[in-house]
């Protein structure tokens, strides 16, 4: 028999790992802070309690279902225990909710409301600790931590880093960076994945909205938006649209209403990157040097290599990320095109990524004291700004990107999901190597959800081997296997965030179980709306080479589009 009785109704087990999963299958969303289906079970928050007849009250996340069990999810005792748990959390919490960065999506607030907590019966025991503001990408407020440990498990189990972990015991227990250091002083790579799973405002992205408002309202400043590929499939979620809804047109209309002078597409720069990086890869391959070629567009991955695998720095592509290429290009080219001095042009990048905040501040990307990208805001921050301005996003008529830097092919758009860079590089290199038009555009062999994927392609009598990785723990596993001679590749794409930028640390939190797949699908749908699909066909990029950059990989391209990371 495989039947369990949930609130007296029969439910058939189908391989669920624990009672919580089985109960959720019946349509009951049990409350929890510390259960994340992608992470190991910790069982600390005691909110998912259920009563099993004959056994008493247990945590459903850590109890496997057994045939014949009779389970009750909301007895009077359980409801009271859950309320007490929430009240204890609140008694040890800095409840400055109206000004908290996570106020829109705080699980503690949501649960307090949902469970009917209308008063806290315990006296506050909060002893305020300093807020850790040391990172360029995230803020850590220990006064809001509920000790669920989701952040620490995300950092170690998915990213393989362990920049934060539990420390001390009893009332002193805390989740902290190692050795009492600040988060900006340890090996944190700024991916922001911990901020996505943190149920409260204890870990948040570091906002830069005020600086952008200043730039937009200063009449002397010419403010340009550079919008990363993955923003268009998530910004709508902030305004009630389903995950993956493509809302490029409304987003552009909103940016114009906010006061941006020009709105450009980072996908343009992604096409440029593919041409530069694809050519660099082919050169390395024919010379047999610096292989495997590792991508370098993900700043969290680059920092990870610098910290943990410095011997691989030489294998990273010398190409700047599309965003940083774009910043350098716009700062160099735009002043002439729009007849405005360089110091008055401000480039604001709008990205799904918290690590881009760190990348923009790297010394490699600052010239004469002026950064190539002036400010980086995330999808979440753009949503806040649109709301703050009172712009009715859902009612906007769609608008389009500005030219010439708003023109892209679908290859530039799919950069925003894991495998997208590889597919774009394939569309470029396979045509180049075969010297004839591509027979097919879609390289479905490199798509998918698995954390480590591989695909080989035969061309001109030889084979090119690709690997695609997302999640830094997977990258670590792949690097170890390569070093042990257990596998070999020519080209390896690494994105730090699970499934790539569509799931970056600056994207809105979404509790729909398949939101990553929906956003990925949205990116491919967005790509289908383009006329052109190969980076080498981007007429505006080609014009840029002819009129301004010169040769691919030439002197001007090297100066603006490439860099060298140092050990
Ligand atoms: Fe990404 Fe990229 S795809 S890194 O995720 O290579 O942020 O979206 O802008 O630079 O193009 C992010 C997204 C982004 C870069 C590009
Ligand atoms: Fe770990 Fe990423 Fe959070 Fe840093 S930002 S603590 S690396 S999960």
Domains of the chain (ranges; CATH) run 3-74 (3.10.20.740), 85-205 (3.30.70.20), 210-561 (3.40.50.1780)
Instruction: List all residues 6 or more positions away from 290 whose beta carbon is below 8 Å from its beta carbon.
Output: 284, 314, 315
- Given the residues 144, 331, 346, 356, select the one marked as catalytic: 356
Q: Quick check: CB of 516 below 6 Å from ligand 1? A: no
Both ends of the chain: CA-CA distance in Å? 60
- Give how far the C-alpha of residue 507 lies from the chain's centroid of Cα atoms, to the nearest Å: 6
Q: How would you classify residue 553: left for phi > 0, otherwise alpha for psi between -120 and 50, otherwise beta?
A: left
Q: Which atom of ligand 2 is nearest to the CA of 154?
A: 8
The closest ligand to the CA of 424 turns out to be 1
| CA 189 – ligand 1 centroid, Å | 16
Distance 490 CA to ligand 2 centre (A): 29
Atom 4, ligand 2: which residue's CA is nearest?
A: 188
- Pocket lining: 496 vs ligand 1, CB cutoff 6 Å: no
Residue spans of alpha helices (H) in 290-389? 299-308, 322-338, 355-360, 379-388
440, two tokens: 């097919």
Asked if residues 344 and 222 have their Cβ atoms less than 8 Å apart, the reply is yes
Phi, psi of 441 (to 5 degrees): -95, -35
pTM reported for the whole predicted model: 0.95
Phi, psi of 83 (to 5 degrees): -60, -45
Ligand 2 atom with least separation from CA of 187? 7
| Ligand nearest to the Cα of 418, by number | 1
Q: Residue 239 burial (CB < 10 Å; 0-12/13-18/19+)?
A: buried
pLDDT for the residue numbered 469: 98
Cβ-based neighbours of 359, under 8 Å, separated by 6 or more? 299, 302, 321, 323, 324, 365, 376
Residue whose Cα lies nearest atom 11 of ligand 1: it is: 270
Distance CA 69, CA 200 (A): 34
User: 297 catalytic, yes or no?
Assistant: yes
Verify whether ligand 1 is closer than 6 Å to residue 323 (CB atom): yes
Which residue lies with its CA nearest to atom 3 of ligand 2? 194
Which of 66, 80, 242, 364 is labelled catalytic?
A: 364
What is the strand order of the sheet 375-378 is part of?
262-265, 222-227, 345-351, 375-378
C-alpha of 364 from chain center: 23
Q: Write the residue with the smallest CA distance to atom 1 of ligand 2.
A: 155
Indicate the DSSP class of residue 389.
T
Q: What is the number of the ligand closest to the CA of 270?
A: 1
Task: Give the Å distances, CA to CA, from 184 to 306, 339, 515, 550.
Answer: 15, 39, 30, 40
Catalytic-residue membership of 77: no
Evaluate: CB of 235 within 6 angstroms of ligand 1.
Answer: no
Q: Are 293 and 492 in contact (CB under 8 A)?
A: yes
Cβ < 6 A, ligand 2 pocket: 138, 154-155, 159, 161, 163-164, 188-194
Active-site annotation holder among 208, 237, 276, 359: 359
Q: For ligand 1, is residue 523 a contact (CB within 6 Å)?
A: no
> Which member of 21, 237, 276, 280 is catalytic?
280
Q: With a cut of 0.90, is the ipTM above it?
A: yes
Active site residue 194: no
Q: 209 CA to middle of ligand 2, Å?
A: 22
pLDDT value of residue 567: 63
Q: How far is the CA of 146 from the centre of ligand 2 (A)?
A: 17
DSSP string of 102-166, one letter each residue = TGGG-HHHHHHHHTT-----S---------B--SSSEEE-GGG-----HHHHIIIIISS---EEE
411 lines ligand 1 (CB under 6 A): no
For the four alpha carbons of 259, 242, 445 and 356, in that order, the dihedral sign comes to positive
Catalytic residue among 208, 277, 423, 493: 277
Question: For position 368, what pLDDT does the model report?
Answer: 81
Ligand 1 closest atom vs CA 270: 11
Ligand 2 center from residue 353 Cα (angstroms): 12
Written as tens digits, the pLDDT of the chain (567 aa) is: 899 999 999 999 999 999 999 999 999 999 988 887 777 777 777 899 999 999 999 999 999 999 999 999 999 999 999 999 999 999 999 999 999 989 988 999 999 999 999 999 988 888 899 999 999 999 999 999 998 899 999 999 999 999 998 887 777 778 889 888 999 999 999 999 999 999 999 999 999 999 999 999 999 999 999 999 999 999 999 999 999 999 999 999 999 999 999 999 999 999 999 999 999 999 999 999 999 999 999 999 999 999 999 999 999 999 999 999 999 999 999 999 999 999 999 999 999 999 999 999 999 999 888 899 999 999 999 999 999 999 999 999 999 999 999 999 999 999 999 999 999 999 999 999 999 999 899 999 999 999 999 999 998 789 999 999 999 999 999 999 999 999 999 999 999 999 999 999 999 999 888 999 999 999 999 999 999 999 999 999 999 999 999 999 999 999 999 999 876
Q: Which atom of ligand 1 is nearest to the CA of 323?
A: 10
Q: Output the CA 517–ligand 2 centroid distance in Å.
A: 23
- Please, are residues 489 and 482 in contact by the beta-carbon 8 Å criterion? yes
Active site residue 276: no
Beta strands in 460-516 (DSSP E): 462-470, 491-495
Identify the bridge partners of residue 225 per DSSP, sorted by sequence position. Answer: 263, 348
């Amino acid at each position: 028999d495989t039947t369990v009785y949930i609130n007296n109704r029969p439910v058939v087990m189908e391989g669920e790992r624990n009672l919580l999963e089985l109960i959720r299958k019946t349509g009951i969303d049990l409350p929890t802070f510390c259960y994340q289906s992608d992470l190991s079970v910790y069982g600390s928050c005691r909110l998912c309690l259920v009563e099993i007849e004959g056994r008493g009250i247990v945590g459903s996340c850590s109890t496997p279902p057994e045939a014949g069990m009779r389970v009750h999810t909301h007895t009077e005792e359980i409801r009271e225990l859950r309320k007490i748990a929430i009240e204890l959390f609140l008694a040890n919490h800095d409840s400055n909710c109206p000004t908290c960065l996570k106020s829109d999506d705080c699980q503690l607030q949501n649960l307090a409301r949902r469970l009917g907590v209308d008063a806290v019966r315990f006296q506050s025991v909060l002893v305020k600790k300093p807020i850790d503001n040391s990172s360029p990408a995230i803020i850590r407020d220990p006064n809001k931590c509920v000790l669920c440990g989701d952040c620490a498990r995300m950092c170690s189990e998915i990213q393989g880093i362990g920049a934060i972990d539990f420390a001390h015991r009893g009332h002193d227990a805390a989740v902290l960076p190692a050795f009492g250091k600040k988060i900006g002083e340890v090996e944190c790579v700024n991916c922001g994945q911990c901020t996505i799973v943190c149920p409260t405002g204890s870990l948040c992205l570091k906002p830069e909205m005020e600086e952008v408002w200043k730039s937009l309202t200063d009449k002397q400043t010419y403010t340009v938006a550079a919008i990363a590929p993955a923003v268009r499939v998530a910004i709508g979620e902030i305004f009630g649209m389903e995950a993956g809804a493509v809302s490029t047109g409304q987003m552009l209309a909103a940016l114009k209403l906010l006061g941006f002078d020009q709105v450009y597409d980072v996908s343009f720069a992604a096409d440029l990157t593919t041409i530069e990086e694809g050519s660099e890869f082919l050169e390395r391959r024919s010379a047999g040097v610096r292989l495997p070629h590792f991508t370098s567009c993900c700043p969290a991955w680059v920092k990870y290599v610098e910290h943990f695998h410095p011997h691989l720095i030489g294998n990273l592509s010398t190409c700047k990320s599309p965003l940083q290429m774009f910043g350098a290009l716009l700062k160099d080219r735009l002043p002439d095109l729009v007849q405005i001095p360089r110091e008055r042009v401000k480039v604001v990048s709008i990205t799904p990524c918290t690590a881009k905040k760190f990348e923009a501040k790297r010394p490699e990307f600052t010239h004469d004291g002026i950064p190539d990208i002036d400010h980086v805001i995330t999808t979440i921050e753009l949503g806040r700004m649109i709301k703050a301005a009172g712009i009715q996003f859902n009612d906007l008529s769609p608008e389009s990107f500005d030219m010439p830097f708003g023109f892209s092919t679908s290859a530039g758009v799919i950069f925003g999901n894991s495998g997208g860079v590889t597919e774009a590089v394939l569309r470029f290199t396979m045509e180049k190597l075969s010297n004839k038009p591509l027979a097919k555009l879609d390289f479905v062999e490199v798509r998918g959800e698995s954390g480590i994927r591989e695909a080989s392609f035969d061309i001109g009598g030889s084979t090119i081997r690709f690997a695609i990785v997302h999640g830094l723990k997977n990258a670590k596993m792949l690097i170890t296997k390569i070093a042990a001679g257990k596998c070999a590749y020519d080209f390896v794409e690494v994105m730090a965030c699970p499934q790539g930028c569509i799931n970056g640390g600056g994207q809105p939190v979404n509790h729909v179980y398949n939101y990553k797949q929906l956003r990925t699908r949205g990116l491919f749908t967005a790509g289908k709306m383009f006329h052109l699909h190969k980076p080498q066909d981007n007429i505006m990029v080609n014009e840029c080479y002819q009129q301004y950059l010169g040769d691919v990989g030439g002197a001007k391209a090297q100066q603006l589009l490439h860099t060298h990371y140092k050990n």
